Chain A
């Protein structure tokens, strides 16, 4: 994963609350393999009208949106379904950071696992950023080391769990980290199984095994 330190790029204002993952990527697109590029599915039903034509006034259809690396939204961003595809859609669109007053828990950890920074700001600061951006993408400077976001005169702080910050700064991947603990895991699994013999009880069941 590509580490993040500073993002200096256009940011799209999305002045909506409760942008759930069903909106970020509607379920019908989730059958596609990732290789098709999920960026085109991002907020599909807000981006297009009923006949499938792009809604010109929607921020992601703004000519500068293709250069955007950041999105600013209102509270409870990414609530709902655990679909990581919602993060794939944001990342494949080119985004590296979402700024909001709060995030769905599962969404936030999915984001970090894909090198997307979920930056939490206060409600007032989210409004200030949205006001500063107006209705077009504008440049925001996001610094993960100092945990600050700035544009022009405006500079606000954001929070992120320290472990997530470290992961994003270094571009670390969990599986590599965990495999270093293989021995501890094995020891634990052995003790655990001995202490809980009832968990071994397996049923009479039709099990499809490796053929």
Chain B
């Protein structure tokens, strides 16, 4: 009898070239994305006189530093920002790596573009020098972020040394009520387990609430997996996965499609497979959730009050809450819905796909935003689709700026920043100190909740609009 295995085991084992004496696996990499920040890795390669082993499995994407007001390179005022994009172009050209550059109609944020182009597929092993690479696990692939030394290693060898992580199954059963999204599932579990709660684990998301999620929502959920400290997150491929992939530019066709389908159907955990850890949530417990602090674990249902450190027994925890409230400029016991905001941002690889923009536009339609804000679609394709549906008009009429696609205000590398001291309701993934700019205060929430905050000028419960 063969041992029952998990989805993760199946994909991992299929990519294991060999195992070292100390137990590390040398893994084959199917897809490797590089972006502007990968310049350290290319420099490392150059220093050692090495080439790129498989340029055909490597894909360059300009997203972190791209301007959102223009698609023209020469219009970028900051020479150092411009040079980041130029270095990516030069490095990919030098090594024969296909590039989705600034002026490419397929350009987008790497974790939006990969699935959209059909590069992300079930059963693959995918890496990128970006922690939110966990996003691609939504298709039942193992996908995780790596550092520059590892990027250089993958470029040089198309392989990577890894220790097999522990495994955790996170099951969400039941039906999500209306207004509850994948963002809320993610913030809820991260708040419960902690920002390092899943450290050392690969997560498989399971249960009826997960199966009923759209592909776009699954991407949001897997995207945020890293915020709970997990190595990666994955969801077994099903009909939803295949329907999404069919006819995508890089998806298999014809006979190859049939072969792929047959393989994808084997990609699920055996009924009696064992996990190192099981966590279960009831869909009915999940409310629209927002963050109030400086770590994604500092999240609460929108109808809650800010915690009071004076009432927290654990000293370390109380200290952390005090520090967060101090940075965020909030008072203990304050009602979340009383918090006034200064601006909104709708964008990022977490929540800037078409479905996200539709959800935000639904709430904004016919309203004016009380605060300024930016909407940056996750990819240029998403931008065109949104425009075809007239979503851009809804955002503009609400008084928000409709921009080009890029990482934008998620990380501010291109200069789209939240000014110091300002409070931003944001669809992004990190509320870290200074993430959206020095001194910026970030509240994470779903696109509909950001739209609700825009309409009311404060954190608001979208269900009550």
Query: Interface readout for A88-132 with B: 1 if CB under 8 Å, 0 if not?
Result: 100000000000001011110110011000000001000000000
Query: Interface readout for A195-211 with B: 1 if CB under 8 Å, 0 if not?
Result: 01111111111111111
Assess the A20–B432 pair: CB atoms within 8 A.
yes
A35 CB to nearest B CB, Å: 9
Assess the B432–A84 pair: CB atoms within 8 A.
no
- Name the B residues within 8 Å of A188 (CB-CB): 17, 28
- The answer to whether A179 and B157 touch (CB under 8 A), given A188-B28, A210-B94, is yes
A180 CB to nearest B CB, Å: 11
Chain-A contact segment, one of B108-116, B253-261, B363-371? B253-261
Assess the B430–A45 pair: CB atoms within 8 A.
no
Q: Is A166 part of the contact surface with B, judged by Cβ < 8 Å?
A: yes
- Name the B residues within 8 Å of A26 (CB-CB): 434, 438
- Name the A residues within 8 Å of B420 (CB-CB): 50
Q: Is B465 part of the contact surface with A, judged by Cβ < 8 Å?
A: no
- Name the B residues within 8 Å of A33 (CB-CB): 43
Assess the B26–A181 pair: CB atoms within 8 A.
yes
- Name the A residues within 8 Å of B37 (CB-CB): 30, 83
- The answer to whether A82 and B129 touch (CB under 8 A), given A162-B22, A205-B98, is yes
Return the contact of A197 from the options B118, B259, B439 (Cβ within 8 A): B259
- Name the B residues within 8 Å of A45 (CB-CB): 433-434, 438
Q: Is A74 part of the contact surface with B, judged by Cβ < 8 Å?
A: yes
- Name the A residues within 8 Å of B250 (CB-CB): 201-203, 205
- Name the B residues within 8 Å of A110 (CB-CB): 147-150
Closest to A127 in B: B316
Assess the A207–B98 pair: CB atoms within 8 A.
yes
Query: Interface readout for B116-156 with A: 1 if CB under 8 Å, 0 if not?
Result: 01100100100001110000000000001111111011001
Assess the A174–B438 pair: CB atoms within 8 A.
no
B132 CB to nearest A CB, Å: 9
B398 CB to nearest A CB, Å: 29
B56 CB to nearest A CB, Å: 8
Assess the B131–A81 pair: CB atoms within 8 A.
yes
Q: Is B161 part of the contact surface with A, judged by Cβ < 8 Å?
A: yes
A-side interface size class: 35 or more
Q: Is B346 part of the contact surface with A, judged by Cβ < 8 Å?
A: no
Q: Is B196 part of the contact surface with A, judged by Cβ < 8 Å?
A: yes
B-side interface size class: 35 or more
- B interface, by DSSP: helix, strand, loop or mixed? loop
Q: Is A178 part of the contact surface with B, judged by Cβ < 8 Å?
A: yes
Assess the A114–B196 pair: CB atoms within 8 A.
no
Closest to A188 in B: B17
Q: How far is the CA of A28 from the CA of B20 in the complex (A)?
A: 39
Q: How far is the CA of A67 from the CA of B439 in the complex (A)?
A: 30
Assess the B433–A208 pair: CB atoms within 8 A.
no
Query: Interface readout for A159-188 with B: 1 if CB under 8 Å, 0 if not?
Result: 001110010000000110111010011001
Q: Is A18 part of the contact surface with B, judged by Cβ < 8 Å?
A: yes
Q: Is A154 part of the contact surface with B, judged by Cβ < 8 Å?
A: no
Closest to A113 in B: B149
- Name the A residues within 8 Å of B152 (CB-CB): 175
Knowing that A31-B81, A34-B43 touch, tell me 6 more A-B residue pairs with CB under 8 angstroms. A22-B430, A76-B194, A104-B199, A175-B152, A192-B28, A204-B249
A-B interface, 5 closest residue pairs, ranked by CB to CB distance from nearest: A110-B147, A113-B149, A198-B252, A198-B256, A84-B147
Query: Can you sample 26 A-B contacts with CB below 8 Å?
Result: A22-B432, A22-B435, A23-B434, A26-B434, A26-B438, A50-B438, A80-B430, A82-B131, A83-B147, A88-B40, A105-B229, A106-B145, A113-B149, A163-B23, A175-B50, A184-B26, A188-B17, A197-B259, A198-B259, A198-B263, A201-B256, A202-B56, A206-B104, A207-B98, A208-B93, A208-B99
